[in-house]
Structure 1
Amino acid sequence: MMKYSYLKKLFIYSLILGALPVIVMGVFSYQRASTVIQHKVDEANRQILNRAVNSIEHKLETAHIMATQFANSTLAVSALELDLNRYQFEVVNDLMKTIRAFQVFDFVESVYFVNLEKEWLVSYKGLERLSETGALSEWSASLSHPAQWETGSEEGSVCLIKPLPFLSGQSPPRAALVLKFSPRLFDSLVRSESFGDTVIYNENLEMIFRNSETLSSKEQQAKLERALKLQSAEQQDIDIELDGAPMLITVQNSGYNGWKYVSLVHLSEITKESKAIGWVTLSVCVTIILITLGLAWQGSKMFYSPIRLLRDMVAGSNHESVSSAATDEIQYIRTGIQGLLGNKLELQKQLQKQFPYLHELFVIKLLLGQLSSKEIRGHIEMFDIVQNWSRSSVLTLRVYSLDGSRFEERDLGLILYAVKNIMEEILTVVQPFKPVIMNESCVAIVVDSSAGIVPAEDRLMHLCEEIKEKIQTFIGLEIQMGVSRFHAELEQASVAFADSTAALHFCQRTGYRGVMRSEQADPGSLLEMTYPARQEQELLEAIQSGDRSAANEVVARILEKIEERHFTQIEAQVLFYQLFVKLNGLLQRDKQTLKKMLLDVEHVQTLFRTTSFEELGHWFTSMGLEPLFHLLLAREQSHQSQMAQRIKDVVHKRFEENLTLEAIADLMNFNANYLSRVFKKEVGMSFSDYMANIKLEMAKQLLTESDMQVQQIAEILHYQSTAAFIRYFRKMEGMTPSSYRDSK
């Protein structure tokens, strides 16, 4: 058996078609998310770094302004000319007080007012003589090449040097104000919320500050410094690797003092978020792919099922003829269909040979009423018959006698075949149906498309006479032929066949030789029961009285007489069909319903398909009489319902007359007992109970809607007495009429 290769291909194609967009979208989403996260982190670090730079530069600028103000102050300028000592404590105290003003900034560690020329120094601690402390040479060296911003070898060591006097240009200067900043200057970086580390370089690329151990080795520092030297003015980001770890470097140059603020971010920190998103994306994609896998499998099986059915059909129909070299089911099916088409062509050739026999079989079944309307249309299409006729008739022909001829009884088959050929030569020139041999008779269906019935009948009789003459000329035998009436529908061919057979039997009984039309057959020459008038009356009475057993007895007597007089099945069928039509015509009032019933082809064909008298009797009682019983029962029920309603109408319209059922029966011209039974059956209560309920309802209405006294109400409603009215009202309502009025 062929493997499911096409199913696999269909499944793989469906899976790729469903999974590929998911994979592409997942990769795109991950890449996009990673790029966006990296951009957001870079932007956030840049903003954080910018805030930190602004904070540091603001502190430095504030300290620089205060230092400039001090350097330009009268106190500082005048103190430069003094050789301060402990005896000039007022000036020293003023200087110390001014210097201590810098203590308001927690990022200023210490302040030194140094005078190299006079060899003194004032700080937070007080006045120091440089010559006495031995620090003169150290300060002279520190101020020999003074820069505004001095960074020491120690990380975080930053000093602001203001030479004095201001704008003197002397080197080394006579004096200077030195502000030494504490590590608090970089608190904004230490407490930074950035994702990475921060390093600060001065204008000479000397490290001033770092907030982590990222650049712990000299090699890392050197590599970063080389990257910073190669950085262009427009370039703000640098991608490098430190110890094999990729880093994202963000650089911001200070326009205030030339420092470089460098942010170092490990890409692994950034990709943590990307990896998390990647895992979520992968999970979603895997879930969707699994769903797609299931849907692709179910869909592939669904779309493959017709192919599998075709494959199994091909394999089961002609497995050996299908090539075993087929690569998939489609090729397998194609090879099998090609083989089936070859078989079809061969079968068509065989059918062409059997075509005449199939046509005869179709005509025989049509005459016997064994085909439905749909089957008839199908056969007409199969035999390419152009359906352009408006009516049809049936011819039934038999050889009258072989006595005195050159033929014997054993030659009857050959004679019928010869008669059939003669009829075929005459009829098939203009007729679509070929004659057939049935029950030692030749039968033919003749169609006509004439505008009127008279030309059609003339043409039909001309054909019959021609057939009769040709048979007598070529075979030398006389024939008897029965011709049916014309019928509008081809489905009525079985009825027409019965008509023509009945006409032929008339010829046989009377000895008539020639063509006999069914309407010309003399009923008086047939059996007495061709139209059973007496039995018809008995059946009619049984049906009207609803007595099924009596009706069945009448049908049984008709069948007994048919058997006694040796009726054929066709004759019995025609007899019962006539009886069926007459009874329906007498009992069915609705002409449209009657017409629909009598023209029901399937219904009539069922009658002519019966094969025994017993089956015919069963059809007549069940299909013919039973609907009439139901019809009369429904009509009787409707009539009784109308009578009950009419009684109610009379009661309500003439209530004041206090009519009895006998009086109403006289008005309606019916028996009172019959009306009583009908009323109780339809209403569900006797007439007297109905009247009592009517009186009670009217009494309740008068009690609630009028001011009439109880006695007046009893008189109007024809109660025997007021006491009788009160007793009956209390019995039915549980209270007296007066109490009922008060309660309402």
Structure 2
Amino acid sequence: MPKYLLRLLGYSFILAAVPVISIGLISYFIASGDIEDKVKDGNMQVLTQTQMGVEQVLKTLELTSLQFVNSPTVASSLNEDLDYNDFAKLRDLSKGLYNLQTFTSVREAYLINLNKDWMVSFSMFSKFSTFADHDIISSYAKQPNSLFWVTGQWGANGDSSDAEDSAGEAAGHPEVIRLVYKIPVIPMTTQPKGLLIVEIENRQISNLLSKNKKLGEVYVLDREGSDFLGDNHETGGNKAIYGLVTDKLRASGEDSGFFNAYADGKELGISYRSSPYNGWIYVSAASIEEITKQSKKIAWVTFIACSAIFILVALFALYASRRMYSPIKRLFEVTKDIEVEGKSHNDEFVWIEERFRTLFSTEKQLQQQVVGQFTQLKEFFMLKLFTGQLSDSDFAYRSEQFGFPAGWAKLGVITVQIDTLQESRFQENDKELLLFAINNMVGELVSQQERFSPVLLEQSQVTLLACRFEDETECKAYFFRMAETIKRTIHSYLQLPISIGISRPFDRPVDAVRAYRECLEALKSRMSLGNEIIVHYEDIDAGRRELEITVYTQLKLLEDQLIQALKLGDMDHVHQSFDKYIAVIVDKGIHVNEYPVLMMQLIAKAFQLIQEQGGMVKKVLGPRATMDYFLKLNTLENIVRWFKAELFEPITRYLNEQAESQYVNIADRMVKLVHERFDQDISLEGCASILNFHPVYLSRVFKKEMGINFSEYLTDYRMSMAKTWLETTSLKISEIAEKLNYTNTTAFIRTFRKLVGMTPGQYRDEFLKQ
């Protein structure tokens, strides 16, 4: 919006907004304060009602329990040493305990005789010393009060630690509150005779709490500030609030109060009451957002009223200001088509001034802006020519506009490619920058009258040369001289190995597409001629020769030998077979275009070898051993190096690791078979049948891993079992021989004497003498 118009509208808005916003804020805060006070009073009443309801239930249970404790049956039983034979007495005590269940929230009750070491509950009679909660219940007798309440989680052992809360609930031990009566109620000594313990489930007390969500959540805390009725999963915010409540009680000394606090990112109004009956703290937490919800309605009404006033003022101010602003607007609109770069103003007069300054810019400045993009346009034009997007007429028209050479007799294309960066001072990621440098060098070495704009196309630097000679032989010589100059200069400055392909001379500019392909075809001859060459397309044998079937057969045989050598892990044999493979391809005169097709078959077999062993090609070989990377290699030297370093060596290393792992597994399985079937007719051929391997292979693997032949290991194990039986049993020599699968006792004795140095009988006699 225009600056002056915005000022006028802003002034009008301020006049209307200040009184309306002031009235709305005052109304909102007054209403919020009144509603908050009402909620505080309501929450305190709820806490009072909740406290009275809970304490009425607890006191009722106290009176019922006191009647039972003071009954003659309990009084007389405390002096008796009861056992299971006192059925009548135990029945009366159990009946008295059952009467406590008229109060429906009672979960369990225990009558304990501390002096006579027995206890009775709803479901059992036992020795108190054997009870799981013996220690914790014994500690109750040391409490100074005759009647008190104990809160917490009680499992099978009676512990009430927080760490066992969730475990106790899951194991079927609900959270309980214990009422403890010392017997007699008025003790004569510090040590009571007995205890009455009544357990109430926490959820029974929780049911008595207020469920009015509009007035907030109600919690009950013990003297330490712990929410013993909760689910023991309180958030950090709730625990902090409980701590604040207990601190407030201790600091103020008052039984009730109210304060605000934050929990879990929400502001809460906290009301609390402390009970003089048992010290429990009743807490109500209500959301301030809920408390002030009604006051927000007033805020919305105020907002709508303000908005209506704002709209009316805005409409009036907009109409009046437009009438006053119209002269400036007309001048601004007249100059809006003048673009000003690098300027940004909100002041209309400053904009008008800058636009008038732009009108007085010189013609030289405009020309400099165009020249900066002229070179890019020429390169884009040449790219369209080399990709076949121009006709002869388009080329003639644009060529004259761009100032390209004219009056030429022949045209030719030279293409420069970097052979390799492996032995240079550059990295692979420097390749694009190097091609850009080469493109600039070519532009400086060849004058503008002899060439069109050099361009970068894919991984090549391409230049269209203009030749003034009619004779094609002279044109070829001229192209070759230019290529030599380029190659020599690049090597001098960058020390890069490059090769240059030269097309055949041609007449029509649109044939530049074909000429560029001829250069690429000529550069493929590096596969057989090597790096750093300058080659004419006409000097290579472009015709494809038919490979004889014997050549394919020979290559397939060498591939199979190579793969077999890889499986055996014999790198010397691998290199020898691959050298023969390359020699066949080169000696048989296979065309350079056939190289990738033939070699991809070998690569596929190598990949398959990894997959057969359960490996992943990319994980075993790494990122450089891919088909895409292989197809980018343009010399035979680089291809041979890639096969040996990136393909064969990782595969051999992987297969050797797999073989070693497999050897250990096979040997362990063979040893296990010997230990399980030494008393049967077991042999190497039998193991081979079970493990699905050739016997010769199993023999070699076992010998390598165990350092002993299979038959020798079997004999040694049988003789060790024979010595064990001779030492620990009274079996006859013939029986031992039969158990070890020897059909001839004499053969067993001969084998035992050969390995042990004495006969089985002599060995047993020597052992008995010890």
TM over 0.5: no
The structure with the largest alpha-carbon Rg is 1
TM-score if structure 2 supplies the norm length? 0.34
